[in-house]
Structure formats: structure tokens, C-alpha cells
A and B are shown apart, each in its own frame.
Chain A
Amino acid sequence: MVNPDSHALVSARAAGAYRASAKALAEEPEEIVRLVKDSGLRGRGGAGFPTGLKWTFLPKNRDATYLCVNADESEPGTFKDRLILEKDPHLLIEGIVIACHAIRCAHAYLYIRGEFCLPYERIRAAAAEAYAAGLLGPNAGGSGQPIDLTIHRGAGAYICGEETALLNSIEGKKGQPRMKPPFPTNVGLFGKPTVINNVETLANLPFIVENGPDAYRAIGTEKSPGTRLMSVSGHIEKPGVYEVAHGVPMRGLIEDLAGGVRGGRKLKALIPGGSSTPVLTAEEAYAVNVDFESVQATGSMLGSGGCIVMDETTDMVWALDKLAHFYAHESCGQCTPCREGSGWIAEIVQKIAAGNGTRKDLEKLESLAAQIVGNTICVFSDALAMPVVSHVTKFRAEFEAHLADRASSSAAP
């Protein structure tokens, strides 16, 4: 049964919240870093980088450290962090306390997506409860150490989910990515060493601290330990967020848990990890498991776990048109290949979708996608190029069927 007050401290306490953070605060920070490294926890924001390893990149001698919590969740198809923020914000705050202790951070900043009005209210209320209960503040959890949490609201920019754009946005600048290196663990927020972790990543910490790395590794696969929150949407009977052990078959997630393709139709395509990850054909999707390595082996990525299901009626040119429009709209404009390329790509896809494209346009689309990859400060261009290439490659016949000159082209030698 769903508890309508699951976000409140009293409910969280009743479910065992803040036991793990109390345990963590009594340990040396190095011990918590070791636990997290041993657990094999990988970041849930998209890249899947080992969390404990990231923490060890912080310089040994440093005067201040910041933790930035990435609650910007703007990747189309992804809505798992929203669920944690709305339904179980104390799980996140407990994870923040554990991470702050581990990396010796006295002040965490949580950057939340501007459109998240209810999640913003909920996390602010939860933070206020945590302060009032002494779980945050100058003597966090009675540990004698200060842990402050400031909640910083974004204002409508997808790019702020990119970690260095997020830092700029907190600093009161346009949310445009920074060149790397230096990496944030060396020069981050306000010029200080900074760790940036996703909401779901931090929400894993209480379990790891309370039950130990072996218990965590007992779930999932060797290289992708633990569970995964998968957001399932699109042409599906029971859309929603499902927590599954890494390694379960995608077919099981789609057909058993999420009720199968809507209306008993056939699966045509599936985007496995948010809109930027290459699309899979039905055959690929049904053969893959939900873990980083399996999805990577298909040439795609598990990314943020945003699984978009498309049935046999879907026009894949129309689908790419939707995605290309998004990326053209959200380019921050800093790098020329992205600023100009994303708009150009969107224009061509729209032209093809409307039946006015030519074979030359299709070639230009592929050429543009190849030219923007890797040529910009952040991976936003790659995030557009990958869907373009995968859609055009895997569903080429559909694109060709939309071309205005298809009749004359097919007659050409």
C-alpha cells in the first residue's frame, strides 16, 4: 500500500531511515570510502562511473570540499529521481550525509530542476525536518561535525544536468559546460574540489553502509552491482519506475513488470537509457539484459535508465524529429558545431519527416552527425548524434520511404 506521507521524517524513521548515517558518522571517512569502493557502486546519472573511485580523485590536502547533488533530471524518458525527491527525500538526505562524511564535506548543494515544483517543496521540507532533528546542521547527527545542505533551484535549461554546467549555474552564471581538465574533483564549485553525484547514486549509500558491500554485490552482476531504477514510458501497458536487479532480462522488465507493449501490439524499437542513448531494434531489446555491460555490447548505453518503448505503429522518422527538435532547442550555444549543427540536423529531419527531403539530405544528416561528435566542450553533441546515427542506420528503409526523390533515386545506378 502506498503511504501518502512517505516523504515525512516520521515515516522515513519508521522505515529505518538515518540508522545508516548514524553508523557512518561513527566511522572514519576513509572506511566509508572503502565500503563504497568495495560495493562497486556506479553512478546512476548516465555515465556509470564508479562512485568510490571518483571520491578518491579529491586531492589529499584541501581546505574545502563541496558535494553537489545533481537533481536536474532533464533527460527525456527519465523520471526516477523525481520519484525519490517526491516520495522518499529523506533517503536522499541520508545518502548526502553519508557522502559528506566520506569526502569530508561541510556544505552540500543540491541543484534541482526548475520545473520540479512538488519535488522542490518536498526536498526543502525534508531538509527543514532534518535540520530541526539535528540530522543536518552544525552538529550533524550528534557527530560534532557540520553538514549543511543548500537547495538551489534551476530555471529551465537541460544542459544544467551536465556536471560543469551545473557548477556554473550554482555560481550564478549561464549554465554552460566548462572545459575539462581541470576536473571538478580538483577545481569545482567556487574553485574548490567538488564531487558531483546523482540522486539515485546517493540513495544507494544507506543500504551499502547498513548492510555492507558484500550484501550489495550479492544483487546484480559482477560489473554492475546493486539494483537499478528503470523509468519505463511510451507504448507500454503499465508505465512507471521499476526497481530491478542489474542483469535481469529487458524482456522481463517490459513484458512481465511493465505489462508488455500497449494494446497487445508488437515492439518495434526501444531506447534503453534516456533519449541520448542509441535506439535498439526489437530483436536487440529482447536479447539484452538491464546492466551497463550488456547494453554497451549492443552499441547503446544504459545511461539514466530511461526506457522508451515504441510499438509497430511508430514512425521512426517522426520519433527522431521529436528528439532532434529537443536537442536543437536545448543546445546552450557555446560551441559552434553544436549550436549550428543541432539546428541544422533538426531542420533536415523535419524536412524528411514532412516528405520534402532528398537523398542528399539524408547523406548530409549522417555527415553532420559524424562531424559534431567529439568536437565540442561537453557531450551534448554526441547525445544528439547517437540517436541520429542509430535511427538512420537501423530504420533506414523508413527514412528512405519518406524521401521526396525516392522514385528517381531508386532508378539511379
Chain B
Amino acid sequence: MARRWTNDLTPADATPEAVFWNRRRIMAGLAGSGLAAALGTQARAEAALPEEELAPNTWEEVTGYCNFYEFGTGKGDPSEYAERMTTEPWSVAIDGLVDNPGDYSFEQILSEMTLEERIYRFRCVEAWSMVVPWQGFELADLLTLAGVQEGAKYVAFETLYRPSEMPGTIYKVLDWPYREGLRLDEAMHPLTIMATGIFGKPLPNQNGAPLRLVVPWKYGFKSIKSVVRITLTDEEPPTSWNMANPREYGFYSNVNPEVSHPRWSQASERRIGGGLFARRQPTLMFNGYEAEVAALYEGMDLSEYF
């Protein structure tokens, strides 16, 4: 089991939004000049990643370029059609090997969880990437609330399937409802969060409102949106992309520049927002979170368990 992540900051420590963005702009400008170090404490907290990579993408990019096939396969379809999805009321069924199974209302979940900001890289299997400032809570906290039983080894997730509000589901692009899954230790990892917002605002529907998974070291499709069911099981659960095309999409789907994909080379990626002449950048092992998560896969052949 991964260590607990303790967040010793309170909302009082949060930087006001305007200052936050301002600083980011300044820091991005200083990147590589060495001057960033002179800023001291502010720089230190973010020293793990090169500053320009950490600067979040814009609201327009994050909310306008999405995959959410329930609303269509075009990148702009979700932002165009997802408005139709009713997200209130919303509840998540938590069942399977848990002590407290049942329907958890979104409000009830929020009242029990501590929200925090996590700025993560987001890497799509189609070889594009973004940096997204999420708000959310650790999935581990929610699972602990439900009481994970002894025999549980995996966590299965399901997206809402409501054809009347999801025009993309007329086509069997995938076997609806969309399903995803994690091994329990991946799910309990402190980097794994359930997001409820971006940029300090509630999640827009196209980004998976009101509650979605975010697993930053895996390809984006693992970070299932608009979650309505979480099931603890003792068997590896079926997952949508793996069911559709097991040769191309494995259960693990960790970002790995060395494991080639039949359709997209994963060695490099393009950050969204660079315009027509954006350069590609090399993809990092586990999307840059190697130090945090590599231990989860010790002894596993990642080209076999891809």
C-alpha cells in the first residue's frame, strides 16, 4: 500500500487566483534563465518539474479539446453537446467488496472529502498532452469511507450511460457504458484523485462532471469521466478500450515511451496550444511520475502488461 499523502496546507495558504496566474506567467517567462531559483520558496515547491511544463493549459484548451465519445468522436463534440447531460442530482453507487455499499450522493461525498488542487500532466494515447489544474480529493479517501474489504484487489468504474442525453451513444463506437478499472494499489495511490473541478470552478460536463477519475501516469482514457459506479472486486475488471481492441489498449495503459502503440508512436507528444508550428517533446516514463509510481510495477514486464 502506498504511503498516505498528507496535505498540510489549508485554504488560507492558497494563492489568490489572480496572483496564481500572474506568478505562473512570470515563472514561465523565467524558465531556463536561472532566475527562477532566486524566487526561493515559490520555485522550490515546483522544482520537481521544469516550469514551462507545469504552466497549465488555458480554459479554452482544456474544455474545448476533449474525448468523451458518449457525445461524439470529434474533439469539439463534447463541448458542443455535453451540456445536455443532467448532473444534478448525482449519486455514485459504491458496491462489491466494501463494508458500506450504497448510493452516495455527490453532496454527501463532497461533505466528507477535503478538496485540494493538483496540477498534473495529462497525456492522451493519441500522443497529445496538456497540463490541467484539477481540484479534487484522493480516491483513497473515498474508498476508505466505503470500507475496502480484505479480498478486494481491483476497482472498477462506470460512466453514466443515458442515451437520451448522450447523442454519441446511438453508435456502438464502444460497448456502453464506458468502463475502466485500476488495481487496488493504483487506486489507493496518493496521486490518484477524483476530480470535481478545474481552474477552481466545477468541472464542465465535457470534462466529466460532476466527478471523474484522474490517474496522471496513465493514458487519458483511464481517467474515466462522469462516474456513476465504483465496484471493488477480486478480479481484473473488463475495461472499454481493452474490450474494443485488446491488441492496442492494455488494462494498465501506463504512459510509456518505450512501448509502441500500433497507431501512435508514444515516444513523443505534442502539447496542445502550441499552434501550427508546435514542436513535439519527448514523452516521459509514467508521464513524468516515475519516482512516485514505478514501485507499483516492480518486477512486471511492462511491454507484456502494457
A and B held together in a complex: no
